[in-house]
Amino acid sequence: MTRNPLTARYLREFVPALGGYIVVLPVLPMWSVMRATVRHMLRQEMQQRIELQAVAVTCAVVGILTFSVGFLQNVKLLPSPPWLMLWVLPVMIGSYGVARALVTRRYR
Amino acid sequence: MRRLSDKQYQRQSMLAMAAYVGVMLGVWPLVRTVTGLPLKVLLALAPVLPMLYMIWLMARRIRDSDELEQRTHLIALGAATGLVGALSIIGGFLASAQVWRVDGTILIWVFPALMAGYGITRWWVASRYGMSLSCDDESRVPLYQRFLLLALTFGVVAWCFRRSLDDRSLGTLCGIAASFAVLGLMIGIARWRRRKHRHGEDLP
């Protein structure tokens, strides 16, 4: 089926603009969220220590996990579907929550 | 556990990176030749070991730092985690909708992205607090050598993965290696010129 040139031009102009809107829009409030979170983490010395340990553990867990999975995918020992990237943030949030709870219990 | 001096930390980091390059060159290619699944998994995960050592070194360094340094570490790690988390969710949705044609092997980039975000943010935060992170004095590994080593690391990874990676990913790796090499050379030349100039001033 041949596409109408006017429809093709419409899609050519509309789709990238919509894509840009979808991509750029979440990034702007994300900056405010990050700033507020970091300020909240720094409110007192003990809090800073707990948050630092929790965030460091999160980075280590996510780093080791993604690096290992990436290597296994590269030799085709694991499948590599495109949606796998969607799991990075939930794993980050999960490991941060667990690490923070454990560190807080240690300092209690 | 005894506290690591900056010099020891630099030396052990370089050793970890050298071990990583060694594993990527000597051990990792064997993964395609062996047949047993457990051995294949072990060989495929061999490069993770030097990285674990590197993470352990960083954890010790953060633990031993003073309160102001810990503040910069926390801001940098928090910002890097937030940024990578946000980018991964955006990238994941774009990849799922097939707007961005990329498969799950991009996960291997999460850790380097975290480290890059951490390094850049920490440098920025430290400069705002009036701390110096240039680490380019005589007692440590010069900055230009570290950039050249990074270039070598990325170059080796690109070479090792040249068959399994698509053209775009291979191009990205080569581009990063070339960028680090150029940056290392620029810093090295600037350092050499600075020293030459200083030497010229010292002469009667």
pTM: 0.71
Q: What is the ipTM of this complex?
A: 0.71
Cα A2 from Cα B42, distance rounded (Å): 53
Nearest-Cα residue of chain A relative to residue B98: A82
DSSP A43: S
Please tell me the distance in Å from A33's CA to the nearest CA on chain B. Answer: 9
Interface of B with A in 53-92 (CB under 8 A): 55, 58-59, 62, 67, 70-71, 73-75, 77-86, 88-92
Please tell me the distance in Å from B52's CA to the nearest CA on chain A. Answer: 7
Contact B44 A72 (CB under 8 A): yes
Tell me the pLDDT of chain B (204 aa) as tens digits.
Answer: 667 777 788 788 888 888 887 787 778 778 888 888 888 888 889 989 999 999 999 888 888 888 888 888 888 998 899 889 988 988 888 888 877 888 878 888 899 899 889 988 888 888 888 776 654 444 466 778 888 888 888 888 888 777 776 776 778 778 888 888 988 898 888 888 888 777 666 655
Tell me the pLDDT of chain A (108 aa) as tens digits.
Answer: 556 788 878 877 787 787 777 666 666 776 777 777 777 766 677 888 888 889 999 999 999 999 999 989 888 888 888 888 889 999 999 999 999 999 989 887
Q: Is B113 on the interface with A (CB under 8 A)?
A: no
In this complex, how many residue pairs, one in chain A and one in chain B, have their CB atoms less than 8 Å apart? 173
